[in-house]
Amino acid sequence: MGLPTSGSDFQHHRYEDMVRALFAVQSECPYITRIYSIGRSVEGRHLYVLEFSDNPGIHEALEPEFKYIGNMHGNEVLGRELLIKLSQFLCEEYRAGNQRITRLIHDTRIHILPSMNPDGYEVAARQGPELNGYLVGRGNAREIDLNRNFPDLNALLYYYEKNNGRNHHLPLPDNWELQVEPETLAVIKWMQNYNFILSANLHGGAVVANYPFDKSRDPRIRGRNTYAATPDDKIFRQVWGC
């Protein structure tokens, strides 16, 4: 199966279509890609990751590892489609001899998870664009918002700030594995098993950039916005060009 050749070939990818698209990329570029699953959704769908590297499956000393996540909210589909397209682009440009892409793949290990919430996507897709409300398919199969399902380390960091505690390698709460959804558990385990240096999580619906530990330290007041800078605020702004 070849890769799409132009923008006119664009289509939305249901779960099976997405899986076929990822395996098509792996088939076209077998020596620089690897597909692996980090777990399953509530309804049993694999959470597939497509890896790009000159040595797929191998962590190389001093080589940075980067991960992309899309479709955390099942009805926010743009990130999912962008990451599928990015995968196709990396493969095509590498095969074409693009020096920038070749250097990127040789010097960086890139992990792409197009859909963290495949169950929610299918719920939204079955409703169709005409009937789809704001919350239809946003959560997973149990209607849990995965974006708010991770342990709250912001509160722990702010507590440590006031009590001269640690500001790195924060411990997860006791029994945290029993308190999160299967998709969230899979992503946390993924982060524990790979040495990711940077990550990006693509959402849709608004122009917003969220950074780690940027939750406001002050009580939320309606009508007033506050900027909550992280300890690494300057670095994040430089990296993302904000």
* Identity of the residue numbered 201: N
CB 25 within 8 A of CB 87: yes
The pLDDT value recorded for residue 223 is 65
Q: What is the rounded average pLDDT of the residues 201-218?
A: 81
Three-state SS letters, the chain: CCCCCCHHHCCCCCHHHHHHHHHHHHHHCCCCEEEEEEEECCCCCEEEEEEECCCCCCCCCCCCEEEEEECCCCCCCHHHHHHHHHHHHHHHHHHCCCHHHHHHHHHCEEEEECCCCHHHHHHHHHHHHHHCCCCCCCCCCCCCCHHHCCCCHHHHHHHHHHCCCCCCCCCCCCCHHHCCCHHHHHHHHHHHHCCEEEEEEECCCCCCCCCCCCCCCCCCCCCCCCCCCCCCHHHHHHHHCC
Write the pLDDT tens digit of every residue in 13-26: 999 999 999 999 99
Closest CA relative to residue 118, chosen from 39, 190, 14 = 14
Q: How far apart are CA 185 and CA 138, in angstroms?
A: 18
Q: Residue 106: what pLDDT? A: 97
Q: What is the pLDDT of residue 1?
A: 46
What is the per-residue pLDDT across 63-100, written as a single tens digit (0 to 9) for each? Answer: 999 999 999 999 999 999 999 999 999 999 999 999 99
What is the spatial distance between Cα 232 and Cα 139, in angstroms, rounded to a whole number?
30
Distance CA 66, CA 56 (A): 13
Q: Is the pTM of this model over 0.75?
A: yes
Find the helix packing angle between 78-95 and 15-28, rounded to 10°.
Answer: 20
**In 3D, which of 7, 15, 73 has the Cα closest to residue 40?**
15
202-219: average pLDDT: 80
Is 6's pLDDT higher than 60? no
pLDDT of residue 2: 57
d(CA 240, CA 201): 13
In terms of phi and psi (left: phi > 0; alpha: psi -120 to 50; beta: otherwise), the region of 231 is alpha
Signed CA dihedral, 100, 105, 107, 108: sign only:
positive
pLDDT of residue 5: 54
